[in-house]
C-alpha cells in the first residue's frame, strides 16, 4: 500500500504508466497512482533506479550558468522578456520562449528593491537573469547539488543553508522544485521562518488541470519521469498550501512551447536529451507551426489554462490565530 505525499491518504488503484524518456535508461518505466482525496498523482515505482535519482541532480552538477556560453544567448533573450526590445532578442524568444517565466516575475516582483531566496536554484540561470535587471536587490540561491559556491555584489549561490542565518526575505521562490521532492510539505515549512511577515512565496510546477495534459496524457512532458515525484493539480496544491498555513494571492500559467514540442517528441519516444538538437534541426521547416504554437499558448496562458502553474501565496493570518 502506498500513501499520498500530500495528504497521506491511501492511494487508489487508478494508475498511469509513463516511459522514463528523461532518464538515462529510457527502457525503464514509472508508475504514478492517483489520490482520491487530494487528486495528486504520486510516483510509486520502487525500482532501485528511482531511489538513485533522489541523489542524482541533472542541472546543479553543471557549471554555474554565468560562466557558460549559452548563458550569453540567454541574457539577450531574457532582456527581451524583461522589456528590452531587440530583433535578435525577439528571434531567440520565439525559438526558446520564456522557461523562467520572467514576464510574470517582472509583473509581480514590483518592489523597487527586495530580497529573494530561491530554493532549488540549480545552476542559477533564473537568479542571474532576474538579478541583472534588479541591481538594487539581494538574491540567495540554495541548492543541495551546488558543489562550487558563487558570490558577487548582489547574488549568492550555495549549498550551505547555514548562510540563511537571521535574514528574512520578501520573496521565496520555488521554480519547478516541489514536484521533485519526496516531502514537499516538510521542505516548504522549513523555509517559512525565513519569509518576512508580509512576504510572498512563488511556486511554479506542472499541473494536470488543463487541455495540454488531456491531449498528451502519459506522453506529457510534465511527468519528466522518474524525476517528478508528485504531479499536482489545482486541488492538491490548495490542499498543500492550506496545510502549511498559507492562502492563494494570485495564480496564472506560464506554459511555453516546450510543453508541446517535448510532449510531441515523447509520443514519438524520442529521449529528452535529443529534444533540443532535433528541434533546432527541424526549426527552419517548421517555423510557421512554431508560430501557431506560440499563439495557442498565449491564449491558454491568458485563460489560466496552461500546464505550468505560477502561484503566489501568502500567510493566512486566521491560520496563525487558530493555532
Q: Assess contact for 254 and 175: CB atoms under 8 A.
A: no
Q: Which residues bind Zn ion (CB under 5 A)?
A: 4, 6-7, 9, 35, 37-38, 40
CA angle 21–45–118, rounded 5-degree value? 70
Provide the grid cell at 237.
496544491
| Nearer Cβ to Zn ion (6/241) | 6
| Nearer Cβ to Zn ion (4/297) | 4
Q: Which residues pair with residue 201 across a beta bridge?
A: 172, 313
Q: Cα–Cα distance between 180 and 175 in angstroms, integer?
A: 11
DSSP 303: T
Report the nearest approach of Zn ion to the CB of residue 180 (Å).
17
| Nearer Cβ to Zn ion (7/296) | 7
| Nearer Cβ to Zn ion (38/172) | 38
Report the nearest approach of Zn ion to the CB of residue 34 (Å).
9
CA angle 195–198–200, rounded 5-degree value? 60
| Nearer Cβ to Zn ion (40/309) | 40
217: left (phi over 0), alpha (psi -120 to 50) or beta: left
Report the nearest approach of Zn ion to the CB of residue 233 (Å).
11
Report the nearest approach of Zn ion to the CB of residue 11 (Å).
8
Q: Cα–Cα distance between 310 and 304 in angstroms, integer?
A: 9
| Nearer Cβ to Zn ion (172/188) | 188
Give me the half-sphere count of Cα atoms (radius 13 Å) on the Cβ side of residue 55. Answer: 3
Report the nearest approach of Zn ion to the CB of residue 95 (Å).
39
Residue with cell 539581494: 138
Report the nearest approach of Zn ion to the CB of residue 241 (Å).
14
Amino acid at each position: 500500500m502506498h500513501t499520498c505525499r500530500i495528504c497521506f491518504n491511501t492511494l487508489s488503484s487508478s494508475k498511469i504508466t509513463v516511459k522514463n524518456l528523461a532518464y538515462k535508461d529510457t527502457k525503464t518505466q514509472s508508475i504514478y497512482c492517483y489520490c482520491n482525496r487530494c487528486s495528486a498523482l504520486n510516483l510509486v515505482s520502487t525500482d532501485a533506479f528511482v531511489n538513485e535519482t533522489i541523489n542524482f541532480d541533472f542541472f546543479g552538477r553543471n557549471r554555474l550558468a554565468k560562466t557558460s556560453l549559452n548563458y550569453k544567448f540567454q541574457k539577450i533573450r531574457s532582456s527581451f522578456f524583461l522589456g528590452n526590445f531587440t530583433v535578435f532578442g525577439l528571434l531567440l524568444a520565439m525559438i526558446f520562449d520564456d522557461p523562467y517565466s520572467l514576464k510574470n516575475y517582472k509583473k509581480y516582483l514590483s518592489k523597487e528593491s527586495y530580497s529573494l531566496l530561491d530554493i532549488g536554484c540549480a545552476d542559477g540561470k533564473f537568479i542571474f537573469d532576474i538579478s541583472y535587471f534588479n541591481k538594487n536587490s539581494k538574491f540567495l540561491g540554495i541548492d543541495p547539488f551546488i558543489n562550487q559556491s558563487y558570490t558577487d555584489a548582489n547574488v549568492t549561490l550555495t549549498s550551505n543553508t547555514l548562510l540563511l542565518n537571521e535574514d528574512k526575505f520578501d520573496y521565496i521562490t520555488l521554480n519547478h522544485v516541489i514536484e521533485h521532492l519526496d516531502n514537499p510539505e516538510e521542505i516548504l515549512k522549513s523555509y517559512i521562518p525565513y519569509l518576512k511577515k508580509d512576504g510572498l512565496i512563488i511556486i511554479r510546477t506542472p499541473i494536470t488541470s488543463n487541455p495540454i495534459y488531456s491531449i498528451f496524457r502519459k506522453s506529457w512532458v510534465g511527468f519528466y519521469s522518474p524525476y517528478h515525484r508528485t504531479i499536482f493539480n489545482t486541488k492538491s496544491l490548495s490542499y498543500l498550501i492550506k496545510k502549511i498555513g498559507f492562502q492563494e494571492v494570485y495564480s496564472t500559467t506560464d506554459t511555453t512551447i516546450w510543453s508541446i514540442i517535448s510532449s510531441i517528441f515523447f509520443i514519438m519516444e524520442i529521449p529528452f536529451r535529443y529534444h533540443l538538437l532535433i528541434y533546432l534541426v527541424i526549426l527552419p521547416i517548421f517555423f510557421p507551426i512554431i508560430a501557431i504554437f506560440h499563439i495557442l499558448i498565449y491564449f491558454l496562458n491568458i485563460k489560466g489554462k496552461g500546464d505550468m502553474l505560477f502561484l503566489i501565496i501568502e500567510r493566512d493570518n486566521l491560520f496563525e490565530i487558530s493555532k
